[in-house]
Amino acid sequence: MRHAILGAGGIGGLIATILSAGGDDVTAVVRAAAAATEPREYELERADGTVRASVTIASALGPDDVIDVLWVTPKATQLRDALTAVASARPRAVVPLLNGVDHLATLRETFGEAVIPATIAVGAEKLAPGRFRQTSVFAALMVSERGRAPLGAAAGILERARVGVVFHADENSMMWKKLVGLSVLALTTSAALSPIGPLRDHPRWRPRIDAAIAEVVAVARAAGADLGEADARMLVFGAPADLKSSMLRDVEAGREPELDAIAGVVIRHAEHHDIPVPAIRALTEDVRANYAAITAGTAPSPAAPTPRTG
């Protein structure tokens, strides 16, 4: 199969390296300024060793490029700009691995029914151009049932590389299930500037976690998702104690966090269904304040979080 990867960050690098090492053709679409220096050999560090594979580098794709699957993996904040490099391509399938749910509508404006909803649960980071690390023991890809035929061969490669692949008939619930757990983990850790473990039994943070879970589950159910608080609590309280969300890592590094894709979508759906979400709103403002403080060089101390009470 022929794959293209849009977004050569941690997730894109992981997918690209595994598929190429498994024998498929992979093209990494990177920014024009980086195309000349991007390595043609990718390396992925995993717990059991390093995977190396060759990739083709391109700065854009056009209608004459034959692509079976376009994997879309940039940050949500970079999606619209990144899409300009592939907007004229005609891939047979488009698989986005972004946070949130609103990106599906954005992609369907360009690619129509070729878009196959999917989510991924894995820790991955970019160490340098062409070098990536899988930071979690687990790796699981959840895909709409519509992707079973176009992704069948690629799913086999991923599974042989210990990336679980599960196809879901209820793609709406699949998408919201990840967002429910992710939103609580991302917002609480980024608001407190702390891994999730110390917050789960903290006398001031535990009530905020519980309130956030209740709110996002109510919104997800109003949006038609079939899930309950037990699903969200399993994701939040089952996470490793030392887990730092990708949003927290972005805030700590002074990178723009994906607030609109993660919190904004919850708030917009809450407003549409007339559901109050004061805990989510307060956490969002705390994250925004932390990001502003860090970029201004006046960051609050993570050892002494000052949570809101409302």
The CATH fold assigned to 172-295 is N-(1-d-carboxylethyl)-l-norvaline Dehydrogenase; domain 2 (1.10.1040)
**Residue 213 to residue 203: CA distance in whole angstroms:** 16
| pLDDT average per 10 residues of sequence, the chain (310 residues) | 95 98 97 93 96 97 96 93 96 96 94 97 94 94 96 96 96 94 95 95 95 96 92 90 92 94 96 98 97 87 47
Delimit the domains of the chain by residue range.
2-169, 172-295
| Cα dihedral 47, 15, 152, 139 sign | positive
Long-range CB pairs of 201-206, under 8 A, 24+ apart, other chains included: 204/307, 205/305, 205/307
Structure confidence at residue 302 (pLDDT):
57
User: Residues near 267 by Cβ (< 8 Å), separated by ≥ 6?
Assistant: 277, 280, 281, 284
Structure confidence at residue 303 (pLDDT):
47
**Which CATH code of 3.40.50.720, 1.10.260.40, 3.20.20.450, 3.40.30.10 fits the domain covering 2-169?**
3.40.50.720
230-267 b/e with 16+ CB inside 10 Å = b?
A: ebbbebbeebeeebbbbbbebbbeebebbbbbbbbbbb
Rg from Cα positions in the chain? 19
